[in-house]
Amino acid sequence: MKKLMNQKQRLGSILSKGLLCTVVLLSSCDTNDDNNEKLEKQVTNKDLKKGSFLGEEIIYIRKDGKNIFQGDMLITDEQLKENLQNRGAVANRLRWPNNTVYYTISNQIRNTNLHNRINAAIREYNSKTNLKWTEVGFNAPTYVQFVPSGSNGTDGSATIGRQNGSKYISLDWNIPLGSLLHEMGHTIGLFHEHTRRDRDNYVIINWNNIQNGQQHNFNIYSSNGIGRDGVDIGEFNAQSMMMYWTNSYSRNGQPTIVQRNGRSYTYNRQNYLIQTDINAINRMYPR
């Protein structure tokens, strides 16, 4: 464990809003301190794994048959086994072609308040970005399915990028619209804002306040893999929908992320796409 915890912070990366990428994953550190351990609680030494994802060395958690990266992103076994030789080819394969994300909605969700929030999130993406979320039938060759997690909490999760067959955005019944937008961001390839290469120019990570076994969720990634060959898009924005909460994975109730001056700040994930996130998405998916 000590060896893992002392590993260099810059591991290799895939994307955050500010980091380009095309993937989807699970989200538990997406929400605040009451819920941000949902997928990774009770982590033991044997749960922590080192592997390669998109040509980068990563630390992830293997729990209940899931490969959980950065607390809220699911990596498939096939992706971990992939021998990456051409990053650009992988980027193209994982990005949604023709700027179109095909989706289905579980029958369990239909005609519920969660269904209404999903529709609102889709309208937000379709009206403000170059992407078009398009509903298809379950017999479509490739799509992402909105499914209920079965929990009454406020979390969500997702698999990474466009993949053949059906993949998932798993949602708690009470997930707020802002966190739903966050999960859909993972689906199209946005990674967490705090893993950008330039993040230390804007915020400080309070490593001493982070729960044991969760430090790897705050690693910086040195090349953002699959979006546009390792380019941070635009400027870092601590209010991005892809940002961690300021107390994510706190072991003592104190902030794990603060301003450069050491002061805490208020993070308000909005129920709409902010302009810097829109700009990042449109640069990733140009017309």
Catalytic residue among 124, 183, 193, 235: 183
Is the sign of the CA dihedral 136, 139, 143, 147 positive or negative?
Answer: positive
Residue whose C-alpha is closest to residue 32's, from 256, 190, 215: 256
DSSP state of 13: B
Residues making up the binding site: 182, 186, 192
Please, are residues 26 and 170 in contact by the beta-carbon 8 Å criterion?
Answer: yes
Separation of alpha carbons 23 and 231, rounded Å: 15
DSSP state of 151: -
Please, are residues 68 and 170 in contact by the beta-carbon 8 Å criterion?
Answer: no
What crossing angle do the helices spanning 177-187 and 113-128 adopt, rounded to 10°? 60
User: How many angstroms separate the Cα of 247 from the Cα of each of 4, 103, 119, 151, 183?
Assistant: 22, 32, 29, 22, 19
Please, are residues 226 and 88 in contact by the beta-carbon 8 Å criterion?
Answer: no
Collapse the DSSP code of 73 into the 3-class scheme (helix H, G, I; strand E, B; otherwise coil) and give the result: strand
CB under 8 Å to 101, separation ≥6 — which residues? 131, 132, 133, 134, 144, 162, 187, 188
Please, are residues 9 and 200 in contact by the beta-carbon 8 Å criterion?
Answer: no
Active site residue 78: no
Separation of alpha carbons 274 and 151, rounded Å: 28
Task: For the beta carbon of residue 216, count every other beta carbon within 10 angstroms.
Answer: 22
Residues making up the binding site for Zn(2+): 182, 186, 192
CB under 8 Å to 211, separation ≥6 — which residues? 37, 249, 250, 251
What amino acid positions are annotated as catalytic residues? Answer: 183
